Amino acid sequence: MEKLSLVMCLAALTASAAPAAAQTSLMVYGGLTEAEAVIEALEPSATSSTRTGLHAGAAVRLPLLGLIGLRLDGSYSEKGVSLNVAEGPVTANIDVRMPYVEFTPAITVGTRFVYAFAGPWGAYRTGCEATLSIQSQTQTDDCDEAGLEIESLDFGYAVGAGAGIGIAGNWSIGVEASVSRGLSDIDADSDGSDRNNAAQVRGFLSLPLG
């Protein structure tokens, strides 16, 4: 009888723990993006470098099977590129800022505390500014006014990983890092293939739904 009672207690504990381990959750996050638009037909006198922007969003994480799950991300991400152009003794800096709204459905593998994820993303550009700096003079224009024809839509893929710790109940906090690669040509007036690449680091808060 004692053995039977012990088995029943273990079964009850297992049944009560299973839904928590596979619970749908909401994640909100914020951090930074280190972005660089890869320009294929860059002039010999110009060099490109990364620019840092804001990155924030939310994701719903859904359990599928075992350690495999689905996450649906919606985020705001500032991308672009910084260019240095040297013409004789004069050096100009051109900073191109391109904020995007992105949607990323991704497959996750792991627990809610340690996991990896990968999936495609699609993005819509919400603006574009080009800031020209020459010595002590600075001018900011819309990309269209500056002669930059940037496509409004973009797509690519992203991979990343995250780790978290529980703080109360099924709430958790943690950090994520990801890398995204663009697959479409973002320059509507280019002979090459200019793409958006970026790396993101963010902190998150995760809470259960339902």
Tokens of 138: 């600075």
For the chain, how many structural domains are there in total? 1
pLDDT of 41: 64
The answer to whether position 47 is within a domain reads yes
Q: How far is CA 195 from the centre of its chain?
A: 15
Q: Are the beta carbons of 113 and 166 closer than 8 angstroms?
A: yes
Q: Structural domain of residue 128, as residue ranges?
A: 24-208
The answer to whether position 140 is within a domain reads yes
| CATH number assigned to the domain comprising residue 126 | 2.40.160.20
The answer to whether position 170 is within a domain reads yes
The answer to whether position 6 is within a domain reads no
* Rounded Cα–Cα distance for residues 207 and 209 (Å): 7
Q: Closest Cα partner for 48 from 100, 104, 120, 96?
A: 96
3-state SS class at 8: helix
pLDDT of 2: 45
pLDDT of 86: 81
The answer to whether position 168 is within a domain reads yes
The answer to whether position 2 is within a domain reads no
pLDDT of 18: 41
Give the DSSP H or E segment for 134.
strand 129-134
The answer to whether position 19 is within a domain reads no
The DSSP result for 142-181, as a single string, is ETTTTT--B-SEEEEEEEEEEEEEEEETTEEEEEEEEEEE
Q: Would strands 129-134 and 90-110 be described as parallel, antiparallel, or unpaired?
A: antiparallel
Q: Closest Cα partner for 37 from 156, 122, 165?
A: 156
* Rounded Cα–Cα distance for residues 191 and 210 (Å): 51
The answer to whether position 40 is within a domain reads yes
Query: Per residue of the chain (210 residues), what is the pLDDT tens digit?
Result: 444 454 444 444 444 444 445 689 999 999 999 998 887 767 777 788 889 999 999 999 999 999 999 999 999 999 998 888 887 778 888 899 999 999 999 999 999 899 999 999 999 999 999 999 988 889 999 998 888 889 999 999 999 999 999 998 889 999 999 999 999 999 887 666 889 999 999 999 999 997
